[in-house]
Amino acid sequence: MTLARGHLLIIGITALNYAMMLVYAIPKLMKSADGLWLFDMRITGYSVEDATEYVTTITNEGRLFYLEVQQMLDTFFPGLLAISLMITLFRLAPKLPVLYLFPVSGALFDYYENAAVKQILLTNSPDQGLVEMASLLTGLKFASIAISLLVILWIWRRGKAND
């Protein structure tokens, strides 16, 4: 298998995993929490009041679904996304492996965020320090992914300008 085909395969698997969350898991969780956004999707973060509102609003079935299904899907997604972004960076700028730090950091922040969110979901009265840490990790995850995508776009456009 060529690098290009492998890259497309990884991107396809990543997109399928994300689609399962976007089309199946996230709508189901939002419905079970009266329309409240999941912790993982709150780009600007959340307060302890937001977290308390979420864990006291979500149904028991929704909480179980979040812990079992959404977190399982989100166990695969960070690694798949990081690999997809790293291969893209490799193909665009093979002599700059330092750029891999952004997608790897994003995946690590996402995994730690998932662990913190799990702890938040296991209580109806989340700890302020835990919520602040989870919210910070959410922001860092999104920032790392955004930087990765912006770097890819910048390198790609720069290459197009040189053609």
How far apart are the C-alpha atoms of 28 and 122, rounded to whole Å? 19
Q: What is the 3-state secondary structure (H, E, C) of 53-113?
A: HHHHHCCHHHHHHHHHHHHHHHHHHHHHHHHHHHHHHHHHCCCCHHHHHHHHHHHHHHHHH
Q: Which among 76, 81, 100 is positioned nearest to 11, based on CA atoms?
A: 81
* 162 burial type by CB count under 10 A (0-12 exposed, 13-18 middle, 19+ buried): exposed
Residue 160 has pLDDT above 90, yes or no: no
pTM (2 d.p.): 0.92
| pLDDT at residue 163, rounded to an integer | 61
How far apart are the C-alpha atoms of 5 and 74, rounded to whole Å? 24
What are the tens digits of pLDDT across the range 25-82? 999 999 999 999 999 999 999 999 999 999 999 999 999 999 999 999 999 999 999 9
| pLDDT at residue 3, rounded to an integer | 87
* pLDDT above 90 coverage of the chain, percent: 91
The mean predicted confidence, pLDDT, of the chain is 95
Residue 51 near residue 127 (C-beta atoms within 8 A): no
What are the tens digits of pLDDT across the range 115-141? 999 999 999 889 999 999 999 999 999
